[in-house]
Structure 1
Amino acid sequence: MTVLSEAKKGIVERLSAALDGAPVHIEELETPPQPDWGDLAFPCFRLAQDLRKPPVEIARELAESCKPDGLIASAEAAGPYVNFRFDRAAFMRQAVEDILAGAGPLGGLRVHGDEKVMIEYGQPNTHKEFHVGHLRNVSLGLSVVLLERSVGRQVIPVSYIGDVGAHVARILWAYRRWHLDDQIPEDKGKFLGAIYTEATREVEEHPELKEEVSEVQRLLEARDGTWWSLWERTRRWSLDEFEAIFKELGATFERVYYESEVEEEGKRLAQELLKEGVAKRSQGAVVVDLEDEDLGVFLILKSDGAALYATKELALAQLKFREFTGISKSVHVVDTRQSLYFRQFFATLRRMGFDKELEHLSYEFVTLKEGAMSSRSGNVVTYRDFRDEMLRRTRQETQERHPDWGGERIDRAAWTIAEGAMKFGMLKQDPDKPIVFDIEEAISFDGFTGPYVQYAHARLSSILSKTAGQEGSWSAGESPEAEYSLVRRLADFPETVAAAAAGHRPSLLAQYLFELAQVTSSFYRDVPVLAAEEPDRGRRVLIARAARSVLAEGLGLLGIGAPDEM
């Protein structure tokens, strides 16, 4: 139990006792809008009807009944609220000791050891570019994996890569038609992406070409030797790029699935559903009628027998749970444009007798200032271009700050900062909020950014490196407000992580870390650590160590490194 949960438990017990045993829930406690009002507050509105008294009178009576004890120093009525203040010396000492103890900053938060969850993310399509929209997917999926593990769940991260389909046929058709003799550039992803844009434009301008593309897709599904060989070669280009990017971003998977491995099983399954009456024929196509659930009609096989995304995904669902037993839940991290599709997909699985818990973790896509990002129009910011521009700027900034550093040291710092800027920029927004990509904002070293949080960690590391190996020691004494404000915010970390994990919202943690970095900045600006005399110096060293530990742990849960120097 953390110090904050212990304090809350004590408050709830006192309130319940004052109410003759009536239940009071920890969730009812609030944080006052102003720190000087107290540390926690209990609103009395819901009690008014049962007690037949005004909330103000109830608050006054409860405050009088709650005497100081343990971590609670006082209880005061403030209108319809009871404001509680902690015993600062006791609270601070226990909070810092908890963070620096063996359990670490999360303080025994890992409480879901029996639950196993599969999280699918990282789903780029081969033969296309890996763009900054994919970066949001990977950043979100990776952080959710790390958050779930932090609270003790067993997590199986998997990826599902689209390596067949209409887009592949279109690209290979255009490649053989116009680019077969081209010299292959180093950036093969961009090369294929340009061909896709070209092919799309040609087909839109000349609709009669659609028949040629459809024939290529038919030959690919039949594994025609010439086309299949070209598919394998170009597919490998994309997979090599994806593997390098996933490794660079720290995303690892226990299993990578491919559409091509479930395509035939999906077709067989569609025919089986047709025989069982789950699906039916509609103008030659195989569909599942979901009108009674207000979900329309779900197309699972085209009239010409060609597979769709749904065809393959139905087979994939069965394969996942066959390969990994004991899974309590499967989470699909896919953008919000697929929301209707997933509602239809889950409803179809239920009609098939599939009783597993499934969740679509949707997120809005990334847009440019001039509109939506689209491979078809060619209006794409690739991950490589985005990363390279980040690195160019962070490297330049690091060189200007540290002209005496060597190249390897500069490169290491520049990448850590660039990665922090990219991932934090993708995670600080709630998943349901679109991101308008602005490179200037993404790389800023000020404000609500990853580098700002990273700098707070680096600044503390610099201070602690000069303490000559002194671990610090706790001592009683008058603590300045900046000390208490920092420790009080540190104590919120476990609950913030728990909330972020429960809601699959890394944005809650990003916001917390930004606010913690602000409080940390005030601490090392207003309170001397190295120049302080004992016993203040020892106490402040411990607080600095605790703050650095929480910042590092929090950044790590976002998949971001915590540099010791910047």
Structure 2
Amino acid sequence: GEEFKLWQKTRKWSIKQFDEIYKELNINFKETFYESDFIEKGIKQIKELKDKKILIESENAIIADLNEYNLGVLVIMRSDGTALYPTADIPLAIYKLTKFKLDKSIIVVDVRQSLYFKQLFKLLELLGYKQEMIHLSYEFVKLPSGMMSSRTGNIITYTELKEKLINKAKNEIIKRHEKWSTRKINETANTLATAIMKFEMLKVDANQIINFDIEKSLKFEGYTAGYIEYTYARISSILKTFDKENIKLKLDSKTTNTLEDAKERDIILKIAKYPETIEKAAKTYNPSMLAKYLFELAQLINDYYHAIPILKANKERKNAKILLVKSSNQIIKNGLNLLGIEVLEEM
């Protein structure tokens, strides 16, 4: 009927808008699943689950009684025949586990669904699926004006947020680079805005509420994407100046032994912890560890180049300092790329 046609139309709008957003954020998916594609499979599967006594009828509804596992009762289908989330989620999980031959499945959904996923994982286990299944939950995003709520109107859309960040970024860039072309200003502002959005989300532990403050996020100081990007751009500028001298860098003990300053040792120790930080972040599914590490490395580099002139020294000493900041900059670039953030060579 007309309702179905309207649903199809708005669904197409939504999918198109999501695809545009993902493209802007440089996010790609190997395969996209839609709930409507799995509902019918789930309804057919209910009979199989009832035959196995995993699901039962209760007051004309279909439920999973998981009380013996201290997981309460999960309603699969209401008494009026309305199929609920598990009806699609069970066949979807089975499809992903079998098609991609997964040893581990990580589902990223907000913290309010914690009990539901414990129940879902238990059902899959009872069906014989022993793969490791993890619900990577995350907390709410809060604005300075309070919790976001569509009911109270205290929300900001992706488009509104992106436009605000781009406009504010443009103003900051123009202050520093009046002679830049409009195209370069726009491209830099767009890259910076995307970096800010990603970093502000990823720098906070998933178990903590994210306080998204647009004004603070745009600062080029403190725990922000702008600060790290500015540090990277500043060092890149120094490296470009050095490259003009056409001096071949040589890594040997005679060169590195000149790095005796306490600030230099601190940077070397920080660089050495990079692989360990990535490993810990991966094992705990916590990208905020890497974000914090990159911020701390940027702080050390900033302190260093403000205190010690990098390009003023004899050949061996200069080479050593350049190798140090070049290595640091490469780590910042690699680390931000792991977080899905593009670096800016100029700011």
Alignment-mate amino acid for residue 465 of structure 1: K
Which residue number in structure 2 is paired with residue 262 of structure 1?
38
Which residue number in structure 2 is paired with residue 550 of structure 1?
331
- Residue 23 of structure 2: which of 224, 247, 265 is its match? 247
Which residue number in structure 1 is paired with residue 119 of structure 2?
344
Q: Does 1:235 align with 2:7?
A: no
Q: Does 1:538 align with 2:313?
A: no
Sort the Cα spacing of 1:342 and 1:478 in 2 relative to 1 into closer, same or farther, 3 A.
Answer: closer
- Residue 298 of structure 2: which of 517, 535, 540 is its match? 517
1:64-107 alpha-carbon deviations (Å, 9 max, x no partner) = xxxxxxxxxxxxxxxxxxxxxxxxxxxxxxxxxxxxxxxxxxxx
TM-score (norm 1): 0.59
Contact 1:365/1:435 (CA < 8 Å) preserved in 2? yes
Sort the Cα spacing of 1:283 and 1:393 in 2 relative to 1 into closer, same or farther, 3 A.
Answer: same
Classify the secondary structure of the residue corresponding to 1:300. Answer: strand
* Count of equivalent residues: 341
Contact 1:270/1:301 (CA < 8 Å) preserved in 2? no
Report deviation, 1:328: 0.8
CA RMSD of aligned residues (A): 1.4
TM-score (norm 2): 0.94
Higher relative contact order (CA 8 A, sep 6+): 1
Alignment-mate amino acid for residue 440 of structure 1: E
Alignment-mate amino acid for residue 283 of structure 1: E
Which residue number in structure 1 is paired with residue 284 of structure 2?
503
- Residue 473 of structure 1: which of 230, 244, 250 is its match? 250
Sort the Cα spacing of 1:345 and 1:241 in 2 relative to 1 into closer, same or farther, 3 A.
Answer: same
Alignment-mate amino acid for residue 156 of structure 2: V
Report deviation, 1:454: 0.9
Report deviation, 1:376: 4.2
Name structure 1 gaps, 5 residues minimum: 1-224
- Residue 71 of structure 2: which of 295, 298, 319 is its match? 295
Name structure 2 gaps, 5 residues minimum: none
Equivalent positions of 1:132-171 (< 5 A) are none
CA distance in 2, matches of 1:443, 1:295: 44
CA distance in 2, matches of 1:528, 1:290: 66
CA distance in 2, matches of 1:403, 1:285: 67
Classify the secondary structure of the residue corresponding to 2:340. Answer: coil
Report deviation, 1:483: 1.8
Contact 1:263/1:307 (CA < 8 Å) preserved in 2? yes
Q: Where has structure 1 moved over 4 Å in runs of 4 or more? A: none
Alignment-mate amino acid for residue 138 of structure 2: Y
CA distance in 1, matches of 2:212, 2:104: 33
1:146-166 alpha-carbon deviations (Å, 9 max, x no partner) = xxxxxxxxxxxxxxxxxxxxx
Sort the Cα spacing of 1:541 and 1:437 in 2 relative to 1 into closer, same or farther, 3 A.
Answer: closer
Equivalent positions of 1:37-186 (< 5 A) are none
Report deviation, 1:473: 2.4
Q: Does 1:442 align with 2:217?
A: yes
Instruction: State percent identity of aligned pairs.
Output: 39
Alignment-mate amino acid for residue 273 of structure 2: D
Q: Does 1:482 align with 2:258?
A: no
Contact 1:368/1:437 (CA < 8 Å) preserved in 2? yes
Which residue number in structure 2 is paired with residue 329 of structure 1?
104
Report deviation, 1:321: 2.2
CA distance in 2, matches of 1:226, 1:496: 55
Contact 1:460/1:548 (CA < 8 Å) preserved in 2? yes
